[in-house]
């Protein structure tokens, strides 16, 4: 059989591959998406969709629809050693910082089914039952051998994106190391019905070498419990919920009436040595895996997909030289390394057995948390950290300029009740954001490049968000600032564009 050809082969239709596919489709880039499974994932793993992910969906016109399918977490309840410690009110914790000022509970299996349906609505289907078994590349392209029900086939691709999870075949074919370790603790995940009925809140329960999170699953009206298997059962592969029921119920202060589903798993913390090699890229769990504490894993994979998608689109469509693709690794691998280190520290602090963990559980959580949790500033810091809105690429080769506290590489700040910023957050393409009336030379230049200009009305809320009067910001298709200038300066812009060899892209009609 003669090989099929595609500009981009996406291996893996988990959340990372599905979002990459949706973004490439929105940019008008053809691709092939394969997965070895027979359909979308059944196992609901990640439970939290962060605000930054919802902002990325908003650019596709899907933000409100995704948000409506989950439950915004309004309260987090803490228990330590079986006693209630505190309740943090998260209602509007990120007010003014994002159009989605909350963390959303939305299980991964519902999420994946929704993304597959969105692709189908655009006339795109996943090639299920298609497994990558071999991959080679040279300077002209890559050749992927896949196993299908009808036998082996070859797909020739200009670029290959390995979104194929922790055991990535792409990563192995590229001989990229995946250093790190495996936690000794064994986790469980269960969907349960509670005696008290459905609960909308998040419960974090800490104990001596014990941890259990309880979250709501809207679509099934059940609670998801994620925790550590007690040490005495950790080595038993046949452990059931009934074995650990007493420990879980005492730790979390719950009575479980019915168990719909129960599974145990091990957690690793690893980051690949590289996120790209030649024409092949790693994204999502193929590049980084870590403790589920913090609800970051899936969101980080989606962030990878978003970062890679506009760069691939620009290169495939001839709007930028292939050098742009080098910035994918430099922008994303640093965050992945930092995330693996911080989730590791947080996990060890909360669930480890040493003196520091005991201090956290017995001292800091019961005594300090109730004192600080009522401060809005503490809640905002918590939101900014976990929501991923603070991810910035200031050190990237394509970030330039600094105005006030905002610099090239930062995410364009959100300003509530500001139509120009709302329009910027709705848009998937290059654009200008201008504070105050725009310079006529900028308007002419933007018109020539077919880029929209968003004119922000100057007022204190705009300044509070970190923008400066008369400053102009060139914004990338992923909502990060490429170039910040105190005033429009044609020479600075020309030098910036010439340095990178770009022609600006407009989204496909
Ligand atoms: C039990 C558990 C609980 C978790 N809880 C959380 C949480 O609470 N919050 C959070 O953010 N994250 C959590 N995670 C992590 C989260 O599930 C992952 O980060 C997320 O699934 C990564 O998405 P992905 O698309 O990169 O990879 P995956 O979801 O693993 O998808 C990879 C896809 O590639 C396909 N594939 C693999 N090999 C091939 C091949 N050779 N050919 C073709 N297709 C292939 C697979 O079939 C799969 O569909 C959890 C993970 C586990 C295991």
CA distance 257 to 348: 31
CA distance 408 to 402: 6
The answer to whether position 325 is within a domain reads no
Structure letter (DSSP) for residue 413 = P
Structure letter (DSSP) for residue 478 = T
Residue-level pLDDT at 183: 86
Residue-level pLDDT at 294: 76
Q: What is the dihedral of CA 465, 469, 470, 471, to 10 degrees?
A: -30
Q: Could you tell which of 11, 13, 14, 36 is best to mutate to test the pocket of ligand 1, judged by most ligand atoms within 8 Å of the CB? A: 14
Pocket of ligand 1 contains residue 189 by CB under 6 Å: yes
For residue 407, report the distance from its CA to the centre of ligand 1, in Å.
33
Phi, psi of 449 (to 5 degrees): -85, -5
Say how many domains are in the chain.
1
Other Cβ atoms less than 10 A from the Cβ of 277: the count is 19
Pocket of ligand 1 contains residue 163 by CB under 6 Å: yes
The answer to whether position 473 is within a domain reads yes
Pocket of ligand 1 contains residue 111 by CB under 6 Å: no
Cβ within 8 Å of residue 66, ≥6 positions away: 49, 54, 57, 104, 106, 111, 114
Count Cα atoms within 13 angstroms, Cβ side, for 56.
27
Ligand 1 atom index nearest CA of 168: 38
For residue 73, report the distance from its CA to the centre of ligand 1, in Å.
23
For residue 89, report the distance from its CA to the centre of ligand 1, in Å.
31
Pocket of ligand 1 contains residue 66 by CB under 6 Å: no
Q: Could you tell which of 32, 36, 112, 296 is best to mutate to test the pocket of ligand 1, judged by most ligand atoms within 8 Å of the CB? A: 36
The 3-state DSSP class for residue 187 equals strand
Q: How far is Cα of residue 173 from the mean position of the Cα atoms in its chain?
A: 25
- By residue count, the chain amounts to 509
Are residues 163 and 283 in contact, defined by beta-carbon separation less than 8 angstroms? yes
Are residues 399 and 473 in contact, defined by beta-carbon separation less than 8 angstroms? no
The answer to whether position 341 is within a domain reads no
Domain region containing 434:
402-500
Radius of gyration for the alpha carbons in the chain, expressed in angstroms and rounded? 23
Pocket of ligand 1 contains residue 290 by CB under 6 Å: no
The 3-state DSSP class for residue 200 equals coil
Q: Could you tell which of 35, 145, 171, 182 is best to mutate to test the pocket of ligand 1, judged by most ligand atoms within 8 Å of the CB? A: 35
Per-residue pLDDT of the chain (509 residues; tens, 9 = 90+): 678 999 999 999 999 999 999 999 999 999 999 999 999 877 768 899 999 999 999 999 999 999 999 999 999 898 887 788 888 888 888 999 999 999 999 999 999 999 999 999 999 999 999 999 999 999 999 999 999 999 999 999 999 999 999 999 999 999 999 999 998 889 999 999 999 899 999 999 988 778 899 999 977 789 999 999 999 998 999 999 999 999 999 999 999 999 998 999 998 999 999 999 999 999 999 999 988 777 899 999 999 999 999 999 999 999 999 999 999 999 999 999 999 888 877 777 766 666 666 666 666 666 666 666 667 777 888 899 899 999 999 999 999 999 999 999 999 999 999 999 999 999 999 999 999 999 999 999 999 999 999 999 999 999 999 999 999 999 999 999 999 999 999 999 999 999 999 887 554 44
The answer to whether position 136 is within a domain reads no
The answer to whether position 107 is within a domain reads no
The answer to whether position 453 is within a domain reads yes
Nearest CA owner, ligand 1 atom 20: 298
- The DSSP bridge partners found for residue 76 are 88, 202
Residue-level pLDDT at 342: 86
Residue-level pLDDT at 358: 65
Nearest CA owner, ligand 1 atom 35: 12
Residue-level pLDDT at 483: 98
Looking at residue 465, which CATH number applies to its domain? 3.40.30
The answer to whether position 420 is within a domain reads yes
Pocket of ligand 1 contains residue 16 by CB under 6 Å: yes
CA distance 393 to 482: 9
Cβ within 8 Å of residue 62, ≥6 positions away: 118
The answer to whether position 423 is within a domain reads yes
The 3-state DSSP class for residue 149 equals coil
């Amino acid at each position: 059989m003669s090989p099929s050809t595609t500009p981009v082969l996406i291996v893996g239709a988990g959340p990372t591959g599905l979002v990459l596919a949706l973004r490439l489709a929105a940019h008008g880039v053809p691709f092939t998406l394969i997965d070895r499974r027979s359909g979308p994932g059944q196992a609901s793993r990640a439970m939290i969709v962060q605000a930054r992910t919802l902002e990325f969906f908003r650019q596709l016109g899907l933000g409100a629809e995704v948000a409506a399918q989950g439950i915004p977490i309004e309260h987090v309840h803490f228990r330590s050693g079986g006693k209630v410690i505190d309740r943090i009110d998260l209602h509007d914790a990120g007010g003014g910082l994002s159009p989605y000022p909350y963390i959303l509970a939305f299980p991964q299996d519902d999420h994946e089914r929704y993304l597959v349906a969105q692709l189908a609505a655009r006339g795109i289907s996943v090639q299920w039952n298609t497994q990558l078994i071999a991959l080679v590349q040279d300077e002209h392209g890559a050749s992927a051998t896949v196993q299908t029900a009808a036998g082996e086939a070859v797909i020739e691709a200009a670029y290959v994106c390995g979104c194929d999870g922790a055991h990535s075949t792409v990563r192995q074919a590229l001989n990229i190391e995946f250093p790190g370790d495996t936690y000794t603790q064994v986790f469980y995940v269960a969907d349960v019905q509670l005696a008290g009925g459905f609960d909308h809140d998040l419960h974090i329960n800490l104990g001596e070498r014990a941890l259990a999170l309880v979250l709501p699953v809207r679509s099934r009206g059940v609670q998801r419990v994620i925790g550590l298997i007690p040490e005495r059962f950790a080595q038993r592969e046949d452990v059931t919920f009934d074995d650990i029921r007493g420990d879980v119920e005492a730790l979390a202060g719950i009575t479980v009436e019915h168990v719909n589903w129960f599974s145990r798993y091990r957690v690793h913390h690893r980051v690949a040595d590289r996120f790209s090699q030649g024409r092949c890229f790693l994204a999502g769990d193929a590049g980084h895996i870590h403790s589920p504490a913090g609800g970051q894993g899936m969101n980080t994979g989606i962030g990878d997909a978003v970062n890679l998608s506009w760069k691939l689109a620009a290169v495939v469509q001839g709007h930028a030289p292939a050098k742009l693709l080098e910035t994918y690794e430099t922008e994303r691998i640093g965050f992945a390394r930092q995330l693996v280190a911080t989730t590791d520290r947080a996990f060890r602090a909360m669930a480890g057995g040493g003196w520091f963990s005991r201090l956290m559980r017995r001292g800091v959580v019961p005594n300090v948390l109730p004192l600080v949790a009522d401060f809005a500033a503490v809640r905002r810091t918590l939101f900014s950290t976990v929501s991923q809105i603070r991810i910035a690429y200031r050190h990237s080769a394509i970030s330039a300029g600094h105005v006030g506290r905002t610099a090239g590489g930062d995410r364009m700040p959100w300003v509530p009740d500001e139509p120009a910023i709302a329009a910027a957050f709705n848009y998937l393409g290059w654009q200008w954001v201008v504070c105050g009336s725009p310079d006529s030379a900028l308007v002419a230049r933007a018109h020539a490049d077919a880029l929209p200009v968003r004119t922000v009305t100057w007022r204190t809320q705009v300044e509070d968000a970190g923008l400066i009067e008369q400053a102009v910001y060139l914004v990338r298709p992923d909502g990060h600032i490429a170039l910040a200038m105190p005033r429009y300066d044609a020479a600075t812009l020309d030098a910036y564009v010439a340095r990178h060899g770009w022609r600006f892209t407009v989204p496909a009609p």
